[in-house]
Amino acid sequence: MTSPPLRILLVEDNEHDSLAFRRAFRKSQVACEITECLRAEEALERLRTDASSFDLAVIDHGLPGLSGLDLCKELLDEETPLPLVILTGYGSEQLAVEALKAGVYDYMIKDRGQSYLDLLPVVLPQVVRKHGDRLARQQSEEELRKINQELKSFTYIVSHDLKNPITYIQGFTSHLIENYGEKLDEKGRLCLERIKVSARRMEVFISDLLSLSRLGRIVGTFEVVSSIEMVKNVTSGLQDRLQAHGIELVVADNLPTIYCDGDRICQVFDNLLGNAIKFMSETNSPKIEIGYEDMIGLHQFYVRDNGIGIDPKYHRKIFEMFHRLKQTEDEEGTGLGLAIVERIMNSHGGRIWVESEPGKGAIFYFTLPKTL
């Protein structure tokens, strides 16, 4: 299949250089259509009204009046959708850097031996292809961004609208149990209890969906916080569960001051500690440790437990949305907690991972950049 001709706008005031440019393409047999402008002002007006007629613009720097670089800057400021290439007979490193920083696609020097002419039929089609690939990638990224935004908005709206009926179900179920429980037989009371438990699980699920949607829509406040105080606040709300399971909690005394979204990092600690408690099973001498390791450029925290452990083949999967381990699928949970935690870490420029084996407990590590 024959490729369409390369449509070039050549902005060149030197007749000899223009002829040499045309001869280079005839010699190469690369199909092209060359339109010429002698002055920058003429090219600027042409591209403002008819940019779609060209695949790229090749611009001599040494034009009378407005220079080639100034023309490129004007076109880039106006977001002209063409790759721009500068040609110059007296190039310098400073000019090349300035051109590329401004957004010019390529920069070529007209050397005295005119070897640049042999490169033109090779380089210019490559410039057009790369520019087309970049535009296609940007368009795909923009479409993906819009789809993700719509999905986040949809998740938020649906989750928010579901909260009210779930609250009503819970309220009326509790009302029936408290006020009419004696009039029901055991099977009827059991059905109501199951409805209540299911409604509670749905409430937790909706809450997790809302948390997940907010991560992409709401930017938290980053501030300097004490991670020791943060852990104290989180663990104080877990004391009843820790005592109920007879779990020893050990918190390192070297937890640092960090720069973060405090609410989100509290959520990370709360989720990791909650999971450690939940999956402790019937472990002898159950124990959870919260520790810290000072790394180069990073704060590294860990939450270690001696619970049931996790098979290495699931180490990556547990961070995926709605993934729940088979051995724990009867436990309360939505399969969103660790997915939320990983997104929080990503938004902080950190990462999270797990090291574990079945029956040998688990260590969840997470890092935060040192930005103080």
Tokens of 91: 């190039």
For the chain, first and last CA: distance in Å? 59
Q: Where in the chain is the domain with CATH 3.40.50.2300?
A: 6-114
Q: Is the pLDDT of residue 372 over 70?
A: no
- The 10s digit of each residue's pLDDT in 59-82 is 998 888 888 889 999 998 988 888
pLDDT at position 188 over 80: yes
Alpha carbons 171 and 70: distance in angstroms, whole number: 70
Question: Beta strand pairing status for 351-356 and 257-261?
Answer: unpaired
Q: What per-residue confidence (pLDDT) applies to 208? A: 67
Q: Which fold has domain 222-369?
A: Heat Shock Protein 90 (3.30.565)
More confident residue, 109 or 206: 109
Band the pLDDT of 329: cuts 50, 70, 90. Answer: very low
In CATH terms, the fold of domain 6-114 is Rossmann fold (3.40.50)
Every domain of the chain with CATH number 3.30.565.10 lies at: 222-369
**Each residue of 120-157: pLDDT tens digit?**
888 888 888 888 888 888 888 888 888 777 776 776 67
pLDDT digits (tens, 9 = 90+) for 192-246: 888 887 777 677 677 766 766 666 555 567 889 999 999 998 998 888 889 988 9
DSSP assignment of 30-73, as one string? --EEEEEESSHHHHHHHHHHHGGG-SEEEEESS-SSS-HHHHHH
* Ordered strands of the 298-305 beta sheet: 248-251, 287-295, 298-305, 362-369, 351-356
**What is the band of 166 on the pLDDT scale with cuts at 50, 70, 90?**
confident
More confident residue, 39 or 151: 39
- 181-190 long-range contacts, Cβ below 8 Å, gap at least 24? none
Out of 2.60.40.1940, 1.10.1740.10, 1.10.287.130, 3.30.70.100, which CATH number does the structure's domain 142-217 have? 1.10.287.130
Give the distance, in angstroms, between the CA of residue 143 and the centroid of all CA atoms in the same chain: 14
Q: What is the mean pLDDT of residues 318-343?
A: 69
Identify the pLDDT of residue 258.
94
Of 372, 362, 233, the C-alpha closest to 294 is 372
Task: Render pLDDT for 285-326 as a digit per residue (tens, 0 to 9).
Answer: 899 999 999 999 999 999 999 988 888 888 888 888 666 665
Q: What angle do CA 311, 312, 316 make, to 5 degrees?
A: 110
In this prediction, residue 330 carries a pLDDT of 44
